[in-house]
Amino acid sequence: MKLLNIAKHLLHLAEGEYGFENSTTATDEIFAAEQLFEVLKSFKDSYFSLLYTYDTLEFEDEYDEKTSEDENDDEIDDYDEHGHFNLQNRFTLEEMENIIKWVDQHPNARFATISNRFKKIKSMNYITRFREYIENNGTRSDKSKKIKEFMFEQFYLKRAIERDAVHDADLELYAIQKERELNWDEFKASKSFINSFKRQNRISSRRVNKIITRTKLKKQFCSLNGN
């Protein structure tokens, strides 16, 4: 293929689509042109080419900007996948145990006394939830952590190693697969759970353009005599 002919027709298509504008070329436009030229050079010795475009989830880089969806997700930081107050975000299991121990030692203590001693306690509902959480010995948090670890392993394998496209539906399937392994019937791979996973691991959706070219290899011959 002749690269100049491709470049000329590309210019013709661009002018037909966006019109002609005589303006100074910006630095980022020069950089984009240089990248496009590197792509164009891959066509030089090819006899077949195909542009393949697809959407996929991908690890973010320093050029990615946070979307409004990410900002809205901040509202659910303190809630788990069932919409309940997520105690693990503000209290460790040890903190909960220490608070419950003190409350049990002072059964007549009023809420004002409790909240004055433990500043993060906002209502007596916290005490009830602490007891429930301690009774379960943090199993919900542990299982949720295992599910997210499995999701990350599968995502990394499919996207970074095998270079397959991955979508939210795939993340949901990974979560369900691990949930069944853990026998956690109450778990729901909700949208908020998936968004939380993506935000924690800096994963976002993007469009990928992949160019496939085929070239004719030049045969090389060598002599057994070393000539």
pLDDT digits (tens, 9 = 90+) for 170-218: 999 999 999 999 888 888 899 999 999 999 999 999 988 777 777 766 5
**Residues 189 and 179: beta-carbon distance below 8 Å:** yes
pLDDT digits (tens, 9 = 90+) for 31-77: 988 888 888 887 777 766 777 788 899 998 755 554 444 444 433 33
Measuring CA to CA, how many Å separate 13 from each of 2, 3, 8, 53, 106?
A: 17, 15, 9, 19, 80
Going from N- to C-terminal start, the domains of the chain cover 3-54+210-215, 55-83+141-209, 91-137
